[in-house]
A and B are shown apart, each in its own frame.
Chain A
Amino acid sequence: MTKTRSVYIESDIRPPDPSKVLQCILTSVEMALLDCSSVQLIFSRPLLQGVTFRKRPSRPTVIRFPGKKECWKFSTVTTRRDLYYKDVALFRNQATIDALIEQLCDSLGVKGSDLGVFPSQKGLIFGSISIIYKNLVGKECCYQLSSSEKSQLTPNWFSNDVEILSVRIPPTIRCVIVLEKDAVFKRLCESSWAQDQYILVTGKGYPDHLTRQFLDLMMKHTSLKVYGFFDSDIYGLLIANTYKYGTSQDLNKMLLEKNRLQWAGVEILDYTQGHQPVRPKEIQLMTSLNHRLGDRIKLLTKHREYVDTCRTHSNTEQDFDIHFRFLYKLRREIQISHYFHYKCEMNVLQDNLQSIENYIHQKIASL
């Protein structure tokens, strides 16, 4: 059996010394991580809420991170969703637990996979791919997906320390297409159009970590181009931005990203009908995204100058071009949507003269 380290956060110590409690937690978690065993955090609710309590709760909350070893040996994978359901009243919503885990990982400098906690799968993939990898206990595995099957959830077995041996794709595959919308994705899977030509990926709205990680893997291990199709409204553009740069507010992180995703549409100017007026709240969001893109452009411009003078090769000219083009295109679409005061949804294309399939074909050909 694997060892389990338990961290008891005693609420009897009154008043609890926060720094001591934290130190105690961190030491235990660190030790556990060192030998890849599981960690349990046991605490009473009032402590977490930061208020003193009169009655001891009948059942202390236990959060158990299975740890890497256990996770692979016994395939006990805990998802963030599972953790949330451990104490719904405490966490109130999924975002709380997601944020907690991210904070925990950030402050410990580890990945969610080290704790044995995986996000629940949300994204879908369609296409022919086989990925051969070595799992953590050194066994060679193969993940296979064929376009004759239905779409599949994004795999959750990989993390940065899973060694990818090779990614094989049929030579007929032209590119990877990222779709904002589930509905569009499903439609394209149903028609024979995508078969053997494209790998389709959707994160059903904002992409989760796994979907982004899967795209990363495709970009690292294949030379396929990656095109994204999103609604031309502020949410679509924010989602495109998330695919490209994640949720991190850290601008500098962007410089290391080798994300090849290209924004391909949809553009308001492609539509002859089906426009919707923009709502006032959306204008605010547009302005704030426009600001952020502006900051990125400034930083990138500075960095390019720096690279030009130092001749370091961390980023190639091509990397810069892809970043700049993405940022400029997004900015232009925001400006046009703001100026025209219209937005467009991708689904509406179906009612237009051209089909989504044709639209995507043409768009990709023009890029």
Chain B
Amino acid sequence: MGKQFISTQIIRGHKSDVYDVAVCSKFTVSVSGDGHIKTWSHKGEEEPVNDILVDSLGLHHVDFWENDGILIIGTVAFSGILYLFQYIDNELVPLNCELKKNNWALKFHVGVEDQKHRLLTTQHNGSAEVYELTVEEGKFSLQHEKTLEDLNRTFALSIDVSSTEDSKIAIGYMNGTVSLYDFRTLRSSYTFTSTAIKSESSAVRCVKFSPGGTLLAVASDSESYGTISLYDVKFGEMAGSLIAPTNSNHAIGAGFAHERWCFSLDFNQDGSFLASGGMDQKVRIWDVTTREVEATITMALTDLPDDKLTDDLNSNSNIGCLSLKYFGKGIRQIDGDDRNEGLVLVGLDQSVRWYREAGGV
């Protein structure tokens, strides 16, 4: 337990569960079951900078592409529609692009060296769509390149791309498998199968490459627990798993990272730490080398300025974490303290929480 995280801001930002969050250079962006996309300034203002009702069915995934001063934001709705926006003059301007329907997760990739810029989305039927992203004279366009068919034929829940010269694509499925593709050739390279208890409920909730691209962290369900495994990307081998410490009066099942499902993972900038968010209301920070818990953040309803949820939708007061992101030093300027990395968490309590790491000079 070497690290400490200090809460810097909590905003009851949405009228329903907040499913995903992302931090770009200009703001934090959150999407919610209330159908709104909202952006929150790095200066800590209480009101959103942008607020758009995108799809009344609710939004569940968000990602962005930021390169050469151009910022594109993509969000997927429960209707399966992927919406794209370009950030121009402090406004989110909707973009019209020919995209497939029935999307689930999405991932933008900023090309490294001579790589293509791409947008990848997973589909309800388990395949993944690859689009080439081009920006010419400020004009943004997407060209469909390939459909990555998968033999699993189960729902593809999560996707990630490593940011290295020799990038890989990882896709996690409902049945517990993870497929790796080569980014350049779009050919399949490995398939990992979850080592968690074999059952129908071993859904791969999140796949995340380390910044160096050597490790792949995989969060999957094991019955009602959440497990995190680390894979060596080069050799396609399991490198270990993250296990929360047990103590006698806290009966966490042996070998699990979270007492409930873990939905979100993120590495810090240099890849030395991994943050994981669980439905057990806990966020754990793991030292990737020692594989030990360095810090635990507990999300509590009492953190909120007003502890009554809007319309009492959440009658069971479960406030598990649905998504989290690390953000680098100096991104948010609150309390005049931006010397450390920070975390942003969202979940079932309709709010967005920002933390920064304590200490450091």
Contacts and interface: CB of A to CB of B under 8 A. Distances in A.
Interface stretch (A71-79, A192-200, A324-332): A324-332
Interface in A321-367: 324-325, 328-329, 331-332, 334-336, 338-342, 363, 366-367
A269 B79 contact: no
B231 interface: no
Interface in A231-286: 267, 269-270, 272-273, 275-277, 280, 283
Interface residue SS majority, chain A: helix
B200 A277 contact: yes
Interface stretch (B53-61, B208-216, B234-242): B53-61
Interface string B301-319: 0000000000111111010
A341 B157 contact: yes
A270 B17 CA distance: 16
Interface string B79-95: 11000000000000000
Contact of A335 (B58, B316, B318): B58
B201 A342 contact: yes
B125 A275 contact: no
B19 A291 contact: no
A290 interface: yes
Interface in B115-131: 124-125
B79 A335 contact: no
A324 B312 CA distance: 12
B33 interface: yes
B181 interface: no
Interface string A158-193: 000000000000000000000000000000000000
A332 B16 contact: yes
A290 B57 contact: yes
B21 to A, nearest CB: 14
A294 interface: yes
A324 B313 CA distance: 11
- The residue in A269, A273, A290, A367 that gathers the most chain B C-beta atoms within 10 A of its C-beta is A269
B174 interface: yes
Interface in A305-333: 324-325, 328-329, 331-332
A328 B125 contact: no
A299 B77 CA distance: 21
Interface string B174-217: 10000000000000000000000000110100000000000000
A342 B201 CA distance: 9
16 contacts: A269-B318, A273-B224, A275-B201, A280-B124, A287-B57, A291-B57, A325-B312, A328-B313, A331-B33, A332-B313, A335-B16, A335-B58, A335-B60, A338-B78, A339-B19, A366-B315
Contacts of A340: 261
B17 A335 contact: yes
Contact of A283 (B124, B200, B203): B124
Nearest to A276: B200
A325 B79 contact: no
A297 interface: yes
Interface magnitude class on chain B: 20 to 34
Given A287-B57, A324-B311, A341-B203, A269 B155 contact: no
Contact of A336 (B17, B155, B157, B223): B17
Given A275-B224, A287-B57, A332 B17 contact: yes
Interface string A186-226: 00000000000000000000000000000000000000000
A297 B56 contact: yes
B80 A287 contact: yes
Contacts of B200: 276-277
A277 B17 contact: no
Contact of A341 (B17, B57, B58, B155): B155
Contacts of A86: none
Interface of B: 16-17, 19, 33, 56-58, 60, 78-80, 124-125, 155, 157, 174, 200-201, 203, 223-224, 260-261, 311-316, 318, 320, 322, 348
Contacts of B322: 339
A272 B322 CA distance: 17
A332 B16 CA distance: 8
B316 A269 contact: yes
B78 to A, nearest CB: 6
Contacts of B57: 287, 290-291, 294, 331
Contacts of A332: 16-17, 33, 313-314
Interface of A: 267, 269-270, 272-273, 275-277, 280, 283, 287, 290-291, 294, 297-298, 324-325, 328-329, 331-332, 334-336, 338-342, 363, 366-367
Nearest to B319: A269
Given A267-B315, A276-B200, 4 more contacts: A273-B223, A287-B79, A332-B313, A335-B19
Contacts of A267: 315-316
Contacts of B16: 328, 331-332, 335
B316 A291 contact: no
A335 B260 CA distance: 19
Contacts of B314: 332
B56 A329 contact: no
A296 to B, nearest CB: 10
A335 B200 CA distance: 21
Nearest to A264: B315
B316 A339 contact: no
B158 to A, nearest CB: 11
A38 to B, nearest CB: 49
B258 to A, nearest CB: 13
B172 to A, nearest CB: 12
Contact of A277 (B174, B261, B313, B318): B174
A336 B223 CA distance: 17
Contacts of B311: 324-325, 328
Given A272-B224, A290-B79, A291-B57, A363 B33 contact: no
A253 B343 CA distance: 48
The 3 closest A-B pairs by CB, nearest first: A294-B56, A269-B318, A335-B33
Contacts of A270: 316
Contacts of B316: 267, 269-270, 366
Given A273-B224, A341-B155, A329 B78 contact: no
Contacts of B318: 269
A198 B219 CA distance: 44
B125 A329 contact: no
A338 B17 CA distance: 13
Contacts of A363: 315
Contacts of B33: 331-332, 335
